Homo-oligomer: A and B are copies of this chain.
Amino acid sequence: MRNVTVEEAAALLRGQDQILILTHRSPDGDTLGSGFALLRALLSCGKRARLLCSDPIPAKYEYLRRGISDADFAPAFVVAVDIADEKLLGAPLEAQYAGRIDLCVDHHLSNTGYAKALLLRECAATCELIEPLVRALGCRVTPAIADCIYTGLSTDTGCFRYSNVTPETFELAAEMLRAGADFDNINRVMFETKTKTYLKLEALVLASLELHFGGRCAAVTITQEMFRESGSNETECDGIASLPRKIEGVEVGLTLRERADGSFKVSVRTYAPYDASAVCAALGGGGHARAAGCEIDKNDLAAGKARLLSAVQRELEAR
């Protein structure tokens, strides 16, 4: 693995054709915004390119790929966007492409260095690296690309609310508005709309609220049963991970979401100085200082949850 600059990454891409872009499983606005922005830029340069994801793309992100038709070719160059670890490709893509990633563009300092070339900088969203890459490719930031970049910026920052926001994040957002990003509709879909099924799910989830360590840690659980009862599903869960931390006095918020296979995806959100990635590292996960994730096996729920709470306690006591 070697680290590359934006210009070196652009040079690599310019020399290639038949480019495959991979996003992470359970795709979010940043991996999809990054992927489709890069895809649109490559297509506008006359390259053959396409994007793959192990999971279906949620309907609310449909606008990111509007107007793009699927290309069919044998990939000659593989790019991963916003993927810290090959495991996060998801089973089908991991089986096919692990060890074969030519370039990775990512903003997670925990990146495992699996790609041949790595464009990495810690910033609020991978999209903050994709935008200069698009320009280094000589491409215009069209309104459609601006939509993609704005989507990554806004979704990875809770619409500019989290501590990962920097002056550069705001400046790039300003540029994307000037480039024609339809921010009003994107915000409406991403942040302002609660479906009736989501409201039902939220009520069920709040009823599962547990407080630990004198109210400094709050945990909620989302089960498959709750999805059935509310009519909601995984794609509506983005906002719930930030709920527990919102309760007054809570420093560490935990969300345990049951997958269809019975395993649990854990999201950890903290306030400074508590380190979410340190908590998740204790369970083999990782991420950022304020937002990280890990997994609990379906046969290990009770013990896994106990390990998680121990890790939270250690973190609360260490600072």
Contact A194 B247 (CB under 8 A): yes
Nearest chain-B residue to A164 (Cβ)? B184
Contact B192 A177 (CB under 8 A): no
Question: Which residues in B have their C-beta under 8 angstroms from that of A174?
Answer: 167-171, 174
Is A40 located at the chain interface by the 8 A CB criterion? no
The size class of the interface chain A forms with chain B is 35 or more
Is A178 located at the chain interface by the 8 A CB criterion? yes
CA of A188 to CA of B159, assembled, Å: 13
Contact A248 B193 (CB under 8 A): yes
CB distance from A60 to the nearest CB of B (A): 11
Q: Mark A169-186, 1 if CB is under 8 A from B, else 0.
A: 111011101100001100
CA of A206 to CA of B159, assembled, Å: 24
Q: Which parts of A150-171 form the interface with B (CB within 8 Å)? A: 159-163, 165-171
CB distance from A188 to the nearest CB of B (A): 7
CA of A23 to CA of B299, assembled, Å: 60
Question: Which residues in B have their C-beta under 8 angstroms from that of A196?
Answer: 247-248
CA of A247 to CA of B194, assembled, Å: 5
Contact A192 B160 (CB under 8 A): no
Nearest chain-B residue to A178 (Cβ)? B167
A161 touching B191 in the complex, CB below 8 Å, given contacts A171-B170, A184-B272:
yes
Is A271 located at the chain interface by the 8 A CB criterion? yes
Question: Which residues in B have their C-beta under 8 angstroms from that of A192?
Answer: 161, 242, 245-246
Q: Mark A257-290, 1 if CB is under 8 A from B, else 0.
A: 0000000000000011000000000000000000
Question: Which residues in B have their C-beta under 8 angstroms from that of A194?
Answer: 246-248
CA of A177 to CA of B159, assembled, Å: 16
Is A199 located at the chain interface by the 8 A CB criterion? yes
Enumerate chain A interface residues (CB-CB to B < 8 A): 159-163, 165-171, 173-175, 177-178, 183-184, 187-188, 191-196, 199, 206, 242, 245-248, 271-272
Excluding A159-B159, A195-B248, 7 further A-B contacts by CB distance (< 8 Å) are A160-B173, A162-B187, A163-B187, A165-B183, A192-B242, A193-B246, A194-B247
